[in-house]
Amino acid sequence: MSSVGRTRQNYSGVALAAPVTVPYVRYSPKPAHWWIGRALAMLASSAKLKPADIDGMCVSSFTLFPDTAVGLTQHLGLSPRWLDHIPMGGASGVVALRRATRAVQAGDAEIVACVAGDANQVSSFRGMLTSFSRFSQDGAYPYGSGGPNGAFALITRAYMQAYGATREDFGQICVAQRRNAMMTPHALMKKPLSLAEYMDARPIADPVHLFDCVMPCAGAEAFLVMREDRAVELGLPFARVLAAIERHNAYPDDPIQIRGGWGVDRAELWDQAGVAPADVDLLQTYDDYPVISMMQIEDLGFCEKGEAAAFVRGHSLTYDGDFPHNVSGGQLSVGQAGAAGGYLGLVEAIRQLTGETLGARVANAKVAAVSGFGMINYDRGLCSAAALLSEGRRIG
């Protein structure tokens, strides 16, 4: 499945700037339109732009229904010449970055606002689960309606059987992220978490326990994509894109998911970026469940397949450790604001590379790896994506 023939064009000359987060709340009566609109307002304010300056927009949201990105233009008074709507859940951030970067390189848009946001009204999570996909309606929801917890419990179980990972290993990831989250202003979970507390938590869907699960919430994340010269002109700090990949429905013949699509394209990712895993200063994985973070660590090449458990045992995953991972606390501690969960790691990576950090800061962060994973259509996540970013222009 690896690419043949022409090599992929590089992503040079493009700046990722103005990382913003609309602070998360557990429940809110406000609809997705409000969260996305607030994110756009924060982008405009942080980049000192008027709405008319934004001529491209890329939106991800689960709760816009019955609207799409199209309806939002009228809601928000935008008249973009380039518009995209990316329904890829946890892969949305990296995929939006890829789309927007190409649009800017091609001149289809000057300034693209990439935004993801979701509402969380008291009943909206359940509503989303019951109508998530046709396959899940037929093949997953009727079986106990455990939602993602059920599907990831089965995946976690299979992974543990295949590679001998233990709950304690998953706990390393969760405990480290909680420590990172202590400094993140908008993190919803800031009570310190010990490994013992992690282990003692109530079961949700064996072997998944309470602290393996993200907390659904409302919130939004966004960033701007533009030419580097434009960012300089606007005086904005920015990060660069070294390489990026995506893959959907990889390894369809695996009877149960124990790897993601990153493995298919990772050689090209590192080649194009011209860096190696050892050069990465921070890794932002998509952490809806810790098992998925382990798969990303392996499948992106930070260790051999099946050795992520040993890897997390052998490294310190906190922002100040030897392998900074999900340095704002990740979704596991900050919360999962729907599709914004697919942006969280990317937006934080931009912050770390531009110096616009809100909380924890990785010292001398020059290269960041960000990956995304999304859409349990039936029994497995179908979308995987990754990007390698580097420092462009730092703050101050």
In the complex, the residues that contact another protein under the rule CB under 8 A are 125-126, 129-130, 134-135, 138-147, 149-151, 153-155, 157-158, 161, 202-208, 255-256, 378-379
Residue closer to another protein (CB basis): 167 or 266: 167
Q: Write down the least CB distance from residue 5 to another protein, Å.
A: 24
H or E, element range at 39: helix 32-47
Structure tokens at 262: 């990153």
Q: b or e along 366-391 (b: 16 or more beta carbons within 10 Å of the residue's beta carbon)?
A: bbbbbbbbbbbbbebbbbbbbbbbbb
Residue closer to another protein (CB basis): 94 or 383: 383
Distance CA 298, CA 309 (A): 10
Residue closer to another protein (CB basis): 229 or 254: 254
DSSP 99-125: HHHHHHHHTS-SEEEEEEEE---TTHH
The residues, ordered by sequence, that sit 6+ positions from 301 with a Cβ below 8 Å of its Cβ are: 266, 270, 277
Distance CA 168, CA 174 (A): 10
H or E, element range at 318: none
Q: Write down the least CB distance from residue 28 to another protein, Å.
A: 19
Q: Write down the least CB distance from residue 307 to another protein, Å.
A: 21
- Burial (CB < 10 A; 0-12, 13-18, 19+), residue 341, is buried
Structure tokens at 4: 């043949």
Pairing of strands 238-248, 381-393: antiparallel
Q: Quote the radius of gyration of the chain (alpha carbons, Å).
A: 19
Q: Write down the least CB distance from residue 126 to another protein, Å.
A: 4
Q: Write down the least CB distance from residue 80 to another protein, Å.
A: 34
Residue closer to another protein (CB basis): 145 or 194: 145
Residue closer to another protein (CB basis): 50 or 202: 202
Kindly provide the residue ranges of all beta strands, DSSP E only, lying in 119-215, ordered along the sequence.
203-205, 208-209
Kindly provide the residue ranges of all beta strands, DSSP E only, lying in the chain, ordered along the sequence.
14-25, 56-60, 82-85, 111-118, 203-205, 208-209, 218-227, 238-248, 282-284, 367-376, 381-393
Structure tokens at 379: 């029994």
Residue owning tokens 């429905």: 249
Residue closer to another protein (CB basis): 103 or 119: 119
Structure tokens at 263: 């493995």
Residue closer to another protein (CB basis): 256 or 267: 256
Phi, then psi, of 52 in degrees rounded to 5: -65, -20
Q: Write down the least CB distance from residue 159 to another protein, Å.
A: 9
Please give the span between the terminal C-alpha atoms of the chain, in angstroms, as a whole number.
Answer: 44
Residue closer to another protein (CB basis): 203 or 314: 203
Q: Write down the least CB distance from residue 160 to another protein, Å.
A: 9
Residue closer to another protein (CB basis): 206 or 233: 206
Residue closer to another protein (CB basis): 254 or 304: 254
